[in-house]
Amino acid sequence: MTKKQKARYIMDELNRLYPHPRIPLEHYSPFTFLVAVMLSAQCTDKRVNEVTPKLFAVADTPEKMAKLPREEIERIIRPCGLAPSKSANIKKMSESLCEKFGGEVPRTFEELESLAGVGHKTASVLMSQAFGVPAFPVDTHIHRLAKRWGLSSGKSVEETEKDLKKLFPKEAWHDLHLQLIYYGREHCKAHTCKTEQTLCPMCKALAGK
């Protein structure tokens, strides 16, 4: 298969497996979504979803979060790991939203990436999932799958993002980002697909097995 043929097959299969992929992080506003995405770094979505209700019960707006002592944020989010740095970034980010953006989460990559703790991947997730702007965030699962399936060299997440954007139509990026994550978690994990006997269905099909 050519890369384009692989991309078409992958899209068809993922649409069959996950026709209506839902955002795994529970949230109810762009701000609560941003905080949840920041907490998800090196942490499972399940754990984030257990912690955020406690955090949002005391601070679910930039104004409330900015007023909350950093130590209190750290105490609540400790189960998510990296609590000292995450709590500092969440507080700084919230203060910036209040001071520079009128308490609203900005809707451009440049403005989002100017916030503490918000890199390109987090900004891409917000732009795509919260604001409906075409973006293709690449996490560890997507990076791994793209390399395994011969869609990208896998040298860097930046290169993988560029390669995938060329292969898949822009209108598919929103769902495809989530579908790839779900498939990577459920079927094509980091420790599987190492031998012919352990190939997942997608790896088998793309390898012509």
Spatial contact of 119 and 161, defined as CB atoms under 8 Å apart = no
Cα 135 from chain centroid (whole Å): 11
CB-based contacts of 149, cutoff 8 Å, min separation 6? 6, 10, 202, 203, 206
Which candidate in 86, 91, 121, 163 is catalytic? Answer: 121
CA-closest candidate to residue 37, choices 50, 53, 48: 48
SS3 9: helix
Neighbours of 138 (CB within 10 A): 25
Q: How far, in Å, CA of 202 to CA of 83, rounded?
A: 37
CB-based contacts of 152, cutoff 8 Å, min separation 6? 146, 159, 160, 163, 164
Which candidate in 139, 147, 165, 189 is catalytic? Answer: 139
- Burial of residue 131 (CB within 10 Å: 0-12, 13-18, 19+) is middle
Q: How far, in Å, CA of 76 to CA of 176, rounded?
A: 33
Amino acid at 3: K
6 is catalytic: no
Active-site residues, by number, are 121, 139
